[in-house]
Structure 1
Amino acid sequence: VIDRAAVDAMVAAAESRFGAPVTTVVNNALDYSFNGDARSQMTAIGWDEMDRQFSTVVRGALNLIQAAAPGMAAARFGRVVNIGTNLFQNPVVPYHDYTAAKAALLSLTRTAAGDLGPDGITVNMVSGGLLRTTDASAATPEAVFDLIAGMTPLRSVTTPEEFADAVLFFASPWSRAVTGQNLVVDGGLVRD
């Protein structure tokens, strides 16, 4: 997704295959390994780590939005759903590069919503926390899942399926009057 020409080719191939514009995109590109013990500390993190996250998360989303927006505008319908994190509201583990990139993605979400709204395109974000269980959380000890669950009003850790339900809402016609929003789906752990 960081290669604009590749993204343009992907969108063109999808439009050709389905005979219609791409009207829904979900930006969830990730180049990250969640390991709190091995993460770079603030005093040692290099710009190369920050740049890698900004390139994947923000440039990737920008490329896909720009590639799909003309078709969405022509259809007068479009849904962009960006995947964020609750860590910039509740940085329980300070993944500096990842969290900063996701915060920038929220800003892009809100500014894109203003630009693309007149063309019938909504741009929203769904932000999760620890999900039970994904490739990224597979090494998480059960005690951590239990700790997080105990801090949520629902007393559970959100599953990928539960998280996907919120993404489907933003992709659906039911969200037609919602844009520029960030919905935190983490069992109520973050409430602001």
Structure 2
Amino acid sequence: MNHPIGEQTVLITGAGRGLGAAIATAFAREGARVAINYRHSRNHAEALAASIGPQAAVYQADVSDAQAVQELVARVADELGPPTTLVHNALANFRFNGEARKHLDTLQWSDVAAQGEVAVGGLINALRALDEHFTTHQGGRVITVGTNLFHNPVVPYHDYTAAKAALMAMTRTAARELGPRGVTVNMVAGGLLRTTDASAATPEAVFDLIASQTPLGHVTTPEELADAVLFFASPWARAVTGQTLIVDGGLVCD
């Protein structure tokens, strides 16, 4: 599938606010039909869809619930058209606050599992639900959202980082399995973003420190990361799969 972005129907998980909202806005700007998935952020999601217009619609679902995701994809197909593109951005409840993070002496496997249910489990559920649509379109685009923390764990958020590292592995193995069907699967790995609900708890001094260490001299914005997602969905990335692109202004080099 090498459709221009303007011909795509894009399902974005966790798109009610923050980075997901920026990704939805970016796709809409290019003319795509946008399915805005949310779990709890109904008001934010509906306001976002209203700002985009009739090419966007909102869909409530917990992506860790396989049946809910099946129903979500069916509703999107009926209302916006069969999905061609998945952006898996959904995040389990998490706050980037180094002061309040769990240390190894208090960390439980259940903490990691809770992150993994959404990061990895959500991707598995979405891929299963989209399987028939990939067949219909003879391909598709899948973009996952990772982190630069598994390259440089400057703050050791153990549960979050472990789940995102597992998501990167799943991105690569899914790319291998789905490649013969014309589906590309890639990851965009951001750093700390200025600013989302998740990063709002980060002290201003940390933002300033990261900005000072970044070659571009500023902390990456959600809008900048969203533009990289567009690349992987575009025909320009038709020969790229199984890759992780770090978008953090050059702070981390893979």
1:15-70 deviation digits (Å, cap 9, x = unpaired): 1112x421101111111122211111112201111110111111011111121122
For 2:168, what is the secondary structure of its paired residue?
helix
Aligned: 1:16 with 2:78: yes
- Of stretches 25-34 and 103-112 in structure 1, the one that deviates more from structure 2 is 25-34
Aligned: 1:100 with 2:162: yes
Aligned: 1:183 with 2:232: no
Aligned: 1:61 with 2:123: yes
Q: Any runs of at least 4 consecutive aligned residues in structure 1 with deviations exceeding 6 A, and if so which?
A: none
Residues 95, 198 of structure 2: 8 Å contact kept: yes
Q: Which amino acid aligns with 2:243?
A: Q
State the TM-score, normalizing by the size of structure 2.
Answer: 0.73
Aligned: 1:27 with 2:93: no
Q: Residues of 1 paired with 2:205 and 2:100: CA distance?
A: 19
Q: Residues of 2 paired with 1:142 and 1:45: CA distance?
A: 26
Residues 132, 157 of structure 1: 8 Å contact kept: yes
Unpaired segments ≥5 residues, structure 2: 1-62
What is the Cα deviation at residue 175 of structure 1?
0.8
- Of stretches 132-141 and 58-67 in structure 1, the one that deviates more from structure 2 is 132-141
Residue of structure 2 aligned with 1:134, choices 180, 196, 203: 196
1:116-145 deviation digits (Å, cap 9, x = unpaired): 011110000000011111111123222211
For 1:50, what is the secondary structure of its paired residue?
helix
Aligned: 1:84 with 2:146: yes
Aligned: 1:72 with 2:137: no
Residues 73, 121 of structure 1: 8 Å contact kept: no
Residues 95, 199 of structure 2: 8 Å contact kept: no
Residue of structure 2 aligned with 1:109, choices 171, 190, 197: 171
Residues 97, 199 of structure 2: 8 Å contact kept: no
Q: Which amino acid aligns with 2:82?
A: P
Query: Partner residue of 1:121?
Result: 183
- Of stretches 24-33 and 177-186 in structure 1, the one that deviates more from structure 2 is 24-33
Q: Residues of 2 paired with 1:89 and 1:173: CA distance?
A: 28
For 1:70, what is the secondary structure of its paired residue?
helix
Q: Residues of 2 paired with 1:66 and 1:190: CA distance?
A: 33
**Number of matched pairs:** 191
Residues 80, 171 of structure 1: 8 Å contact kept: yes
Taking only the aligned residue pairs, the percentage that are identical comes to 62
Unpaired segments ≥5 residues, structure 1: none
Residues 72, 121 of structure 1: 8 Å contact kept: yes
Query: Partner residue of 2:15?
Result: none
State the TM-score, normalizing by the size of structure 1.
Answer: 0.96
Q: Which amino acid aligns with 1:77?
A: G
Aligned alpha-carbon RMSD (Å): 1.0
1:64-118 deviation digits (Å, cap 9, x = unpaired): 1121122112211201000000001000111111100000000000000011011
For 1:16, what is the secondary structure of its paired residue?
helix
Q: Which amino acid aligns with 1:58?
A: V
